[in-house]
Structure 1
């Protein structure tokens, strides 16, 4: 929905009264805001900052949301560079992200479209890519790897339960949040499948590709994602890939041969899990439940979805019981000048509404805080052994 249509009906001809009204007014009338928009330093209610990533058809920038002051990531796509195939993939990407809500999956807040660009406003993970962390700091110790891996498995389980296949699981698409939390992102190759439906498109990064992608004309989606989890686990715990090669042809031969050499420093339980996941036959490969209940992950718990929330406000007849988080979110929205009536009016717009985007940002921020592990208290100083002379 164009932002010009988002101006609340109760805005009189006089000066705007609320933070939301002022922001919408500035967007259309403030000379500085309009200049920043022309220069590509602003889009909608977001002030763009530095670039943090770049792809074939897109770049990712950090931005600040004017209303909530929350930092977000914005994936900027040039419409002129999008082919018909990439447009179809983009529709699937947005659909996939709109239909999932999990603490270990990057959230989609808003879609802002201009004449030449399309902007996906996403949750920002301040720790950057897991790939960068691994290449900079080296392999993880197994306790740390367990804590990270179970979160990624939780995200994939959430997707598969909704018949969504990611098809591009890799360290570059796992993002580090606060206090050890990680988030699975980049749904550009994702697709929704029906039960037992076979896929035919080779997607994702070749080093993470399952053997059936090289061998067969069609493949099942879930085992392909699970194979990629095995490659990722190997990379996390060893610091290198399980199938090294100097070329795509060499990589294909190595993956189809399926010989894995696990370093001696890995525990027996970790090696068993890796070998159980990286099995040549999709039918023999570990299922997600086998991974979750493996000896290596014993004692680890998966994260479930953040309440039963569809990323839209709750409305119903009579008194509807709201969660504590949603009550808090609505109170904060009221301070900004966004009323329950405005939420209800624009809920059908979903990601195309700046009002719903503000709601999503605030709610997801509150849920992220609620999901974070507590900060460990500082160690107590040792008791003094000084003698007291009376």
Structure 2
């Protein structure tokens, strides 16, 4: 649930399948859309329609509208979100974190191939479908997502959740650079998520609150992997994270490069096998 919408557990009448029903209040939506950085549920529905059909993107089923509300019926994820999962398990084993990131990357690849940037990737927006040992991942919450008309058109809006924001986005808040940003901001967010899953710490944490303080910390401090937090984690994982958390957006890994990194490729066969088995258990209303 949030300021502009509540999510309820529902059931499809015809198949008896459980679904998630997002109820958006129109008056709150219109007030929110007047602000520059507000969540746009109309854009969310548009993005979900465009991105449909991928196993790592939450499924959109139907939309209904009344005078006061918009109702969006979506896939129900019975495993909660990645934030809850992480809090329950704390630091994840490297192989399990890799399998989660593997799926997130495949979902992002689908979005980026469609010229969609999510712009708000964080554990709370990664849903889980319960599996015996390894959860299946669904990227959700596309209220901040945007479609790029061309690869060279960049967004200018300051949005997203602070700890997961790329410096490209944070720079929009300062006068240091007037350029916008593109798909590479999602890759930075993946790097932050992986860093947290493996170490239970954030890669950058400014002493003061606010995006400006975080930006200065990122620009002036080197990315580190303290031994106490990273004991037992492979050098390949650290190397992978360094490419995702590259300050230079032009040399930061794309999703295609990330999927070709040795850290991912080393277990790709087993992950694809497990992934395909998970997909065979899917149900559709």
TM-score range, shorter chain: 0.7 to 0.9
Partner of residue 8, structure 1: none
Report the alpha carbon displacement of residue 94 of structure 1 after superposing the two structures with TM: 0.8
Question: Taking structure 2 as the reference length, what is the TM-score of the superposition?
Answer: 0.84
Of 153, 162, 173 in structure 1, the residue corresponding to residue 105 of structure 2 is 153
User: Are the structure 2 counterparts of residues 371 and 63 from structure 1 closer, same or farther at C-alpha, using a change threshold of 3 Å?
Assistant: closer
Stretches of structure 2 lacking an aligned partner (at least 5 in a row): 172-176
> Which digits, 9 at most, give the CA deviation of each residue in 1:123-176, with x for residues without a partner?
010000101111121011011111111000000000000011111111110011
Q: Is the 8 A contact 1:93 1:188 kept in 2?
A: yes
SS of structure 2 residue aligned to 1:83: helix
Question: Taking structure 1 as the reference length, what is the TM-score of the superposition?
Answer: 0.62
> Which digits, 9 at most, give the CA deviation of each residue in 1:202-257, with x for residues without a partner?
12111111111122333231111111111111111111211123511432322233
Partner of residue 240, structure 2: 273
SS of structure 1 residue aligned to 2:268: coil
List aligned pairs for 1:14-93, cutoff 5 A: 54-83=1-30, 86=33, 89-93=40-44
Partner of residue 224, structure 2: 261
Take 1:92 and 1:258, find their aligned partners in 2: how far apart are those partners?
36
Q: Is the 8 A contact 1:103 1:371 kept in 2?
A: no
Take 1:224 and 1:65, find their aligned partners in 2: how far apart are those partners?
36
Partner of residue 174, structure 2: none
Give the count of matched residue pairs.
256
User: Are the structure 2 counterparts of residues 204 and 104 from structure 1 closer, same or farther at C-alpha, using a change threshold of 3 Å?
Assistant: same
Partner of residue 268, structure 2: 300
Take 2:32 and 2:46, find their aligned partners in 1: how far apart are those partners?
16
Stretches of structure 1 lacking an aligned partner (at least 5 in a row): 1-53, 304-366, 373-390
Q: Is the 8 A contact 1:79 1:116 kept in 2?
A: yes
SS of structure 1 residue aligned to 2:22: strand
Of 140, 154, 158 in structure 2, the residue corresponding to residue 185 of structure 1 is 140
CA RMSD of aligned residues (A): 2.0
Q: Is the 8 A contact 1:135 1:239 kept in 2?
A: no
Of 221, 241, 247 in structure 1, the residue corresponding to residue 202 of structure 2 is 241
Take 2:156 and 2:32, find their aligned partners in 1: how far apart are those partners?
14
Report the alpha carbon displacement of residue 56 of structure 1 after superposing the two structures with TM: 2.0
Take 1:56 and 1:85, find their aligned partners in 2: how far apart are those partners?
10
Take 1:230 and 1:190, find their aligned partners in 2: how far apart are those partners?
19
Take 1:55 and 1:218, find their aligned partners in 2: how far apart are those partners?
31
Partner of residue 200, structure 1: 156
Take 1:173 and 1:123, find their aligned partners in 2: how far apart are those partners?
14
